Amino acid sequence: MVLFRPRRVGVLVAAALLAAPPALATAYPTKPIRLIVPFPPGGGTDVIARAIAPRLTQYLGQPIVIDNRGGANSNIGTDLAAKAPPDGYTLLMVTANLTINVSLYKNLPFDVVRDFAPITELAASAFVLVTHPTVKANNVRELIELAKAPGARLNYASNGNGSPAHIAAEMLKTHAKIDVTHVPYKGSGPAVTDLMGNHVQMMFGSMASTLPYVKAGRLKALGVTSAKRATAAPELPTMIESGLKGFEITTWYGMFAPRATAMPIVRRVQAEAVKTINEPDLRQFFAGQGLEVVGSTPEAYAALVKAEIAKFADVVKASGAKPD
């Protein structure tokens, strides 16, 4: 009996290890995590990723390494993330334009719903409908009346074909039954500059890029595109309050993982990301960018993504938008 005791002990130990919960067998994370930002450095998505990375590093206990992979309106970096190993060590920072790209591009190399596991919507921001101060409209209704007047010629700027700002203006055309001409720019900076120069008359811009000029009197704000009034500009009515039923569009930032990433990993990242964005200094940072902190569950975020894809499909088709 004594001769066989070591073997029996070994069998029992092996059985115990096999029965151990996965969390005990393998801890996550045990090495640096790559966060792909599918835009060049310096843009809004990159700024937000770099703002949360240091605190998320503390909570997860491993470095968050930003990997900028810009190009093709975010599709290059997004495809890279879709094809990464689903082990929790590659994450993706996305924006609302991803749900527009589904309809804007005919042959995407990935499927947004099939190839990704939504983690959380971090923050969202309404757009502001702004005009040049000389435009003779002090609210959305007056702007619509002006656009419908005989001989009216209004041009609107956007930060690119198929951008959320472009789609917002196309939604206005559809809801209000008006005709205004699109002038696309390579980014919001040049668009705002030309609007202040009265080369174009109106645009939907981010709060961060437009509200400082509104306060300085160089632009005039008429309304916001969120379902309720924005914290950063509570004096501005929503488009819905202005008579455009169902008019809601926001730009949002969130995180994805490759589809087969284990749910315990997804939930761990989601929990730590939510703690991160609710830190007082991060909330203050987001407020300064005109962003509302969200911190949704993976399920709620998945529902948002599906709803946005469906909502934008008809708008993109009606607008005739093409990739730049």
Q: Is residue 85 part of a domain?
A: yes
138: phi then psi, degrees, rounded to nearest 5: -110, 0
For residue 59, the tally of other CB atoms under 10 A from its CB is: 17
Q: Is residue 305 part of a domain?
A: yes
Cβ–Cβ < 8 Å for 36, 69: yes
Q: pLDDT confidence of 40, banded at 50, 70, 90?
A: confident
Whether the pLDDT of residue 3 is over 50: the answer is no
Question: Dihedral sign, CA of 153, 158, 163, 169?
Answer: negative
pLDDT, tens only, 165-211: 999 999 999 999 999 999 998 888 899 999 999 999 999 999 888 99
Query: Does one domain contain both 159 and 215?
Result: yes
Query: Does one domain contain both 135 and 109?
Result: no
pLDDT, tens only, 244-282: 999 999 999 999 999 999 999 999 999 999 999 999 999
Question: Considering only CA atoms, which of 196, 242, 205 is closest in space to residue 128?
Answer: 205
120: phi then psi, degrees, rounded to nearest 5: -165, 145
Separation of alpha carbons 224 and 126, rounded Å: 6
Query: Does one domain contain both 43 and 130?
Result: no
Query: Does one domain contain both 256 and 310?
Result: yes
Q: Is residue 310 part of a domain?
A: yes
For residue 230, the tally of other CB atoms under 10 A from its CB is: 22
Query: Does one domain contain both 95 and 159?
Result: no
Q: Is residue 73 part of a domain?
A: yes
Q: Is residue 149 part of a domain?
A: yes
Residues whose CB is less than 8 angstroms from the CB of residue 238 and which lie 6 or more positions away in sequence, other chains included: 126, 223, 224, 225, 226, 227, 228, 229, 247, 248
Q: Is residue 241 part of a domain?
A: no
Q: pLDDT confidence of 11, banded at 50, 70, 90?
A: very low
Whether the pLDDT of residue 5 is over 50: the answer is no
> pTM score, two decimals?
0.82
Separation of alpha carbons 122 and 270, rounded Å: 9
At 295, which CATH number?
3.40.190.150
Whether the pLDDT of residue 64 is over 90: the answer is yes
CA dihedral 75, 80, 85, 88 (to 10 degrees): -70
Confidence at residue 203, expressed as pLDDT on a 0 to 100 scale: 97
Task: Write out the two tokens for 92.
Answer: 């993706």
Query: Does one domain contain both 278 and 132?
Result: no
Provide the domain count of the chain.
2
Question: What Cα–Cα distance (Å) separates residue 155 from each residue in 130, 132, 231, 237?
Answer: 12, 11, 29, 23
Confidence at residue 8, expressed as pLDDT on a 0 to 100 scale: 41
**Which region among 15-19, 61-65, 78-82 has the lowest average model confidence (pLDDT)?**
15-19
Separation of alpha carbons 156 and 169, rounded Å: 8
Whether the pLDDT of residue 6 is over 50: the answer is no
Separation of alpha carbons 184 and 297, rounded Å: 35
Q: pLDDT confidence of 56, banded at 50, 70, 90?
A: very high
| Mean predicted confidence (pLDDT) in 95-111 | 93
Whether the pLDDT of residue 321 is over 90: the answer is no
Query: Does one domain contain both 154 and 203?
Result: yes
Q: Is residue 117 part of a domain?
A: yes
Q: Please give the radius of gyration of the chain, using alpha carbons only, rounded to the nearest integer.
A: 24
For residue 177, the tally of other CB atoms under 10 A from its CB is: 10
Owning domain of residue 182: 126-224
Q: Is residue 231 part of a domain?
A: no
